[in-house]
């Protein structure tokens, strides 16, 4: 028997996806296997008038190799630019997450895409504090540079001196920045969208709203006559279950969007007192966000615009029993932002409103696009994209198979019989598995993608039937279970092969590692399902 059709489709078992870490979801090793972490103290010199801080989390949060890092950042920004048309005026401030790029990179990129193409004199980075338990107000990096695999980012020494003089209570110590990742992970984005632009790195402690107002208003006076981008970094809820995170983060996002720091402060307090399961904090960079909101308000802004929300459970790597939330905001001065703005739907909201129904042609085309983009990203840069679509039908919980054909011959086919999360994520996982985990074939390479044709089968729920006579050839996919043996055929297999029911079941028994007539045994059990099958046009891609 040859490789024709679907007879060899295997069940996909699971991807090893781990959510770990204290303040962010630690990236897995699989997307970027070449990475290795580095960490060192600031070094003197560098021609920047101060110490050069080496990268502390390269190889952990983002790729170590320069070419790989630039490819990832460029891909994330390209995807972000396709989302919503940018405003014509440069944003005054951004709020971005700081987890590893496999988790929050797409969310951060959505904010940086708004700032791309606009010239700034400098970028003031307000980082969260994860490493300094005794930090009070904040810690400034006064001079020198921050290094990443893409090169050095100079510190705007004169502006940093003004900030230090204007903001009461700041420490000025490069060593305090040695291990803090929240500022570092922003730098590759800035190096791509604004190469050569100097920075003012400032870690902000967990200050009160009153103190944040004082800091923000003082900072606004320093920045008032300058074309400076203010970037505050925070992740949202830490470690609640997926559904709980959606509710908690929804309230936090609404408070931030109001640009009312007092409301953010009170919302945080209410939610921390509410006893949400697993909730360790709602904003790990609360001080940075509050300071940025106060500064933006003093500089003439009225509202923060939500660009994208997701959490680690929306990625292909994150577990759902403990998640971390991420949001991207852009803030413009009054009259300079978008004339009208509707926040994009959060994936968790779409999942809660999912529609269980057949996909229409546009939704089928979108799902095929998702599968192809997932393969292009994964095989090209080692990182699958965060795919978000407004159609509720793409978030139904359905099993799915992804079949890859190369010039008409099977190249990979793996599926999941039952729904495990939203359909759009299942298709992404099955596409990767079909390309890289089908044991009958070597892994697909990126060079093969132009020759591949993708087919998707969206499955109905499994239904056990009394016996083989209930199986309708061509309509039903079949799962045969006999003791510890099992095998599956999709509905189209029998038609493609020209089999009748008995012939199909004999082949299915052999596929399960049983004698051809084992399906006749009274101990054999049968499950059936139907499938909505669609594929790329013959000319694709």
Tens of pLDDT, residue by residue, the chain (541 residues): 333 333 333 333 222 222 222 333 333 333 332 223 333 455 544 445 899 999 999 999 999 999 999 999 999 999 999 876 667 899 999 999 999 999 999 999 999 999 999 999 999 999 999 999 999 999 999 999 999 999 999 999 999 999 999 999 999 999 999 999 999 999 999 999 999 999 999 999 999 999 999 999 999 999 999 999 999 999 999 999 999 999 999 999 999 999 999 999 999 999 999 999 999 999 999 999 999 999 999 999 999 999 999 999 999 989 999 999 999 999 999 989 887 778 789 999 999 999 999 999 999 999 999 999 999 999 999 999 999 999 999 999 999 999 999 999 999 999 999 888 999 999 999 999 999 999 999 999 999 999 999 999 999 999 999 999 999 999 999 999 999 999 999 999 999 899 999 999 999 999 999 999 999 999 999 999 999 999 999 875 5
Q: Against a cut of 0.85, is the pTM above it?
A: yes
What is the third-level CATH fold of 52-337?
Answer: Protocatechuate 4,5-dioxygenase; Chain B (3.40.830)
Do 274 and 240 meet the contact criterion of CB atoms below 8 Å apart?
no
Buried b (16+ CB within 10 A) or exposed e, 52-78: bbbbbbbbbbbbbeeebbbbbbebbbe
Q: Residue 376 burial (CB < 10 Å; 0-12/13-18/19+)?
A: middle
Do 370 and 359 meet the contact criterion of CB atoms below 8 Å apart?
no
Measure Cα distances from 406 to 402, 449, 496, 531 in Å.
13, 9, 17, 22
Q: Residue 356 burial (CB < 10 Å; 0-12/13-18/19+)?
A: middle
How remote is the C-alpha of 227 from its chain's centroid? 31
Within the chain, all domains assigned CATH 3.40.830.10 are found at: 52-337
Separation between Cα atoms, residue 487 and residue 526, nearest integer Å:
10
Of 3.40.605.10, 3.40.1160.10, 3.40.50.970, 3.30.700.20, the CATH number of 353-535 is 3.30.700.20
Beta bridge partners of 202: 126, 140
**Helix (H/G/I), strand (E/B), else coil: 286:** helix
Separation between Cα atoms, residue 268 and residue 275, nearest integer Å:
12
Separation between Cα atoms, residue 489 and residue 504, nearest integer Å:
9
**377: preceding bond cis by omega (within 30 degrees):** no
**Phi then psi for 365, rounded to 5 degrees?**
-60, -40
Do 327 and 306 meet the contact criterion of CB atoms below 8 Å apart?
yes
Separation between Cα atoms, residue 475 and residue 531, nearest integer Å:
8
Separation between Cα atoms, residue 5 and residue 405, nearest integer Å:
9
DSSP string, 500-539: -HHHHHHHHHHHTTS-TTGGGSTT-EEEEE-EEEEE--TT
Within the chain, all domains assigned CATH 3.30.700.20 are found at: 353-535
Do 100 and 61 meet the contact criterion of CB atoms below 8 Å apart?
yes
pLDDT confidence of residue 45: 43
pLDDT confidence of residue 541: 54
Helix boundaries (H) for 347-466 = 347-352, 361-381, 423-436
């Amino acid at each position: 028997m040859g490789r024709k059709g679907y007879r060899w489709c295997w069940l996909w078992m699971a991807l090893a996806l781990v959510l770990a870490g204290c303040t962010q979801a630690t990236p897995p090793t699989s997307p970027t296997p070449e990475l290795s972490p580095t960490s060192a103290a600031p070094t003197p010199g560098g021609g920047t008038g101060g110490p050069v801080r080496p990268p502390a989390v390269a190889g952990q949060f983002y790729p170590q190799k320069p070419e790989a890092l630039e490819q990832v950042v460029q891909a994330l920004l390209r995807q972000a630019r396709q989302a919503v048309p940018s405003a014509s005026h440069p944003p005054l401030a951004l709020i971005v997450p700081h987890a590893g790029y496999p988790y929050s990179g797409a969310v951060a990129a959505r904010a940086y895409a708004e700032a791309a193409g606009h010239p700034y004199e400098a970028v003031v980075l307000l980082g969260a504090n994860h490493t300094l338990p005794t930090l009070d107000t904040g810690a400034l990096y006064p001079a020198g540079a921050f290094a990443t695999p893409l090169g050095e980012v100079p510190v705007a020494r004169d502006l940093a001196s003004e900030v230090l003089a204007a903001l009461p209570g700041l420490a000025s110590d490069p060593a305090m920045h040695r291990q803090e990742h929240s500022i570092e992970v922003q730098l590759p984005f800035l190096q791509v969208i604004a190469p050569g632009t100097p920075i003012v790195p400032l870690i902000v402690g967990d200050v009160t709203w009153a103190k944040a107002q004082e800091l923000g208003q003082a900072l606004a006076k320093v920045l008032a006559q300058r074309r400076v981008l203010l970037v505050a970094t925070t992740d949202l809820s830490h470690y609640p279950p997926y559904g709980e995170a959606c509710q908690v983060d929804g309230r936090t996002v609404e408070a931030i969007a109001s640009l009312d720091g007092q409301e953010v402060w009170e919302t945080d307090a209410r939610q921390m007192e509410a006893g949400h399961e697993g909730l360790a904090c709602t904003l790990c960079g609360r001080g940075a966000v509050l300071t940025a909101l106060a500064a933006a308000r003093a500089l003439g802004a009225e509202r923060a615009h939500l660009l994208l929300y997701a959490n680690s459970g929306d990625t292909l790597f994150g577990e759902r029993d403990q998640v971390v939330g991420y949001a991207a905001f852009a803030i413009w001065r009054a009259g300079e932002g978008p004339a009208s703005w509707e926040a994009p739907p959060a994936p968790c909201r779409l999942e809660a409103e999912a529609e269980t129904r057949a996909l229409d042609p546009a939704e089928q085309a979108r799902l095929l696009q998702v599968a192809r983009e997932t393969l292009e990203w994964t095989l090209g840069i080692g990182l699958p994209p965060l795919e978000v679509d407004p159609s509720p039908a793409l978030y139904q919980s359905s099993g799915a198979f992804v079949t890859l054909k190369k010039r008409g011959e099977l190249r990979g086919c793996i599926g999941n019989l039952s729904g495990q999360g939203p359909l759009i994520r299942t298709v992404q996982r099955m596409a990767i598995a079909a390309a890289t985990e089908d044991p009958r074939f070597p892994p697909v390479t990126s060079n093969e993608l132009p020759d591949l044709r993708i087919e998707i089968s969206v499955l109905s729920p499994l239904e056990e039937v009394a016996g083989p006579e209930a199986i309708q050839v061509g309509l039903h996919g079949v799962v045969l279970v006999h003791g510890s043996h099992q095998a599956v055929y999709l509905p189209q297999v029998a038609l493609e092969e020209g089999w009748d029911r008995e012939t199909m079941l004999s082949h299915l028994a052999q596929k399960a590692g049983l004698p051809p007539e084992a399906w006749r045994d009274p101990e054999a059990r049968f499950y059936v399902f139907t499938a909505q099958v669609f594929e790329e046009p013959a000319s694709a891609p």
